[in-house]
Structure 1
Amino acid sequence: MTKKAIVIGATGLVGRAIVQQLVNTDYIGKVITLTRRSSPHSSTKVLNQVVDFDQLDNYLSLFDGDFLFSCLGTTVKQAGSINGQRKVDLEYQFKAAELAAKNGVSHYLLVSSTGANGQSNNSYLKMKGELEHRVSQLIFKRISIFQPSLLLGERTQIRLGEKMGCWIMPIICIIPFLRRFRPITGEQVAAKMVSISQREGASREFYRLDEIFIK
Structure 2
Amino acid sequence: MKLLLLGATGLVGRKTLELALSSDIISNVIAPTRKPLPTSEKLVNLVGADIQALVPALMSHKPDAVICALGTTRKAAGSKEAFRHVDYDLPLALGRAAYAAGVQTYAIVTAKGASSGSRSFYYRTKGEVEKAVREIGFRSLTICRPSLIDGSRNEVRGAEHAALMLLRFLAPVLPEQFRVNPAEAIAAALLDAVVVANTGCRLINSQEMN
Same fold (TM over 0.5): yes
How big is the alpha-carbon RMSD for the aligned residues of Structure 1 and Structure 2? 1.7
**SS of equivalent to 2:32:** strand
What residue in structure 2 maps to residue 111 of structure 1?
109
- CA deviation map 1:137-190 (0-9, x unaligned): 1121211110000001011111111211111123445555x6422101111100
* AA of the residue aligned to 1:143: L
Structure 2 CA distance, aligned partners of 1:61 and 1:175? Answer: 49
* AA of the residue aligned to 1:183: V
1:191 to 188, 192, 206: 188
Structure 1 CA distance, aligned partners of 2:173 and 2:119? Answer: 26
What residue in structure 2 maps to residue 201 of structure 1?
198
Deviation of 1:196 (Å)? 2.2
What residue in structure 2 maps to residue 168 of structure 1?
166
TM-score if structure 1 supplies the norm length? 0.90
Structure 2 CA distance, aligned partners of 1:158 and 1:198? Answer: 32
What residue in structure 2 maps to residue 87 of structure 1?
85
TM-score if structure 2 supplies the norm length? 0.92
Pick closer, same or farther for the CA change 1:80–1:200 going to 2, 3 Å. closer
Paired residues of 1:110 and 1:144 also in contact (CA < 8 A): yes
Structure 2 CA distance, aligned partners of 1:123 and 1:172? Answer: 28
> Percent sequence identity over matched residues?
30
Paired residues of 2:142 and 2:203 also in contact (CA < 8 A): yes
**SS of equivalent to 1:27:** coil
1:59 to 35, 52, 55: 55
Paired residues of 2:116 and 2:126 also in contact (CA < 8 A): yes
- CA deviation map 1:58-111 (0-9, x unaligned): 523413311101011111111111221111111111111111111111210101
Paired residues of 1:104 and 1:140 also in contact (CA < 8 A): no
* AA of the residue aligned to 1:187: E
Deviation of 1:197 (Å)? 2.3
Count of residues in correspondence between the two structures: 208
Pick closer, same or farther for the CA change 1:157–1:131 going to 2, 3 Å. same
Structure 2 CA distance, aligned partners of 1:18 and 1:67? Answer: 13
Paired residues of 1:51 and 1:59 also in contact (CA < 8 A): no
Paired residues of 1:114 and 1:148 also in contact (CA < 8 A): yes
Deviation of 1:195 (Å)? 1.9
- CA deviation map 1:5-54 (0-9, x unaligned): 0011000000011111011111111000111222233x21011101343x
Structure 1 CA distance, aligned partners of 2:54 and 2:148? Answer: 34
Matches within 5 A, 1:23-62: 23-41=21-39, 43-53=40-50, 56=52, 59-62=55-58
What residue in structure 2 maps to residue 157 of structure 1?
155
Structure 2 CA distance, aligned partners of 1:23 and 1:115? Answer: 31
Structure 2 gap ranges (5+): none
**SS of equivalent to 2:8:** coil
